[in-house]
A and B are shown apart, each in its own frame.
Chain A
Amino acid sequence: MTVMQHIWIVIGVLFVLLNIAAGLIWVERRLLALWQDRLGPNRAGPLGLFIVLADTLKLFFKEDWIPPFADKKIFILAPAIVVGSVLLSFVIIPFAPNIVVADLNIGLLFFLAMSSLGVYSIVLGGWASNNKYALLGALRGASQMIAYEVFMGLSLMGVVMLTGSFNMGAIVEAQKDMWFIVTQPVGFFVFFIAGIAETHRLPFDIPEAESELIAGYHAEYSGMKFGMFFIGEYLGITLISAMMVALFFGGWLGPSFLPPLAWFALKTFFFIGVFILLRASLPRPRYDQLIEYGWKILLPVVLANLMITGAIALWMKGG
Chain B
Amino acid sequence: MNLLFYISSFVAVAATILAITRFHPVHALLYLVVSFLAAAMIFLSLGTPFIAVLEVIVYAGAIIVLFIFVVMMLNLGKDTALQEKNWLRPKVWAGPCLLVLILLVEMIVLLLNAPDVTMHITVVDPRKVSLSLFGEYIIALELVGFLLMAGIVGAAHIGKQKKKILHRFLN
Interface residues of A (CB under 8 A from B): 71, 74, 104-106, 109-110, 112-113, 116-117, 119-120, 123-124, 126-127, 135, 138-139, 142-143, 146, 149, 153, 164, 166
Contacts and interface: CB of A to CB of B under 8 A. Distances in A.
Residue picked from A113, A146, A164, A166, most chain B C-beta under 10 Å: A113
A74 B68 CA distance: 13
Given A106-B126, A127-B72, A146-B66, A116 B30 contact: no
A146 to B, nearest CB: 6
B61 A119 contact: yes
Contact of B26 (A74, A149, A164): A74
Contacts of B68: 120, 123-124, 127, 142
Contacts of A138: 72
A149 B62 contact: yes
6 contacts: A105-B125, A106-B50, A113-B56, A113-B60, A123-B65, A146-B65
* Majority DSSP secondary structure for residues of B touching A: helix
Interface of B: 26-27, 30, 33, 49-50, 53-54, 56-57, 60-62, 65-66, 68-69, 72-73, 125-127
A106 B49 contact: yes
B69 A143 contact: yes
B53 A116 contact: no
A116 B56 contact: yes
A77 to B, nearest CB: 8
B32 to A, nearest CB: 12
Contact of A117 (B49, B61, B72, B125): B61
Given A74-B30, A116-B61, A127-B26, A109 B53 contact: yes
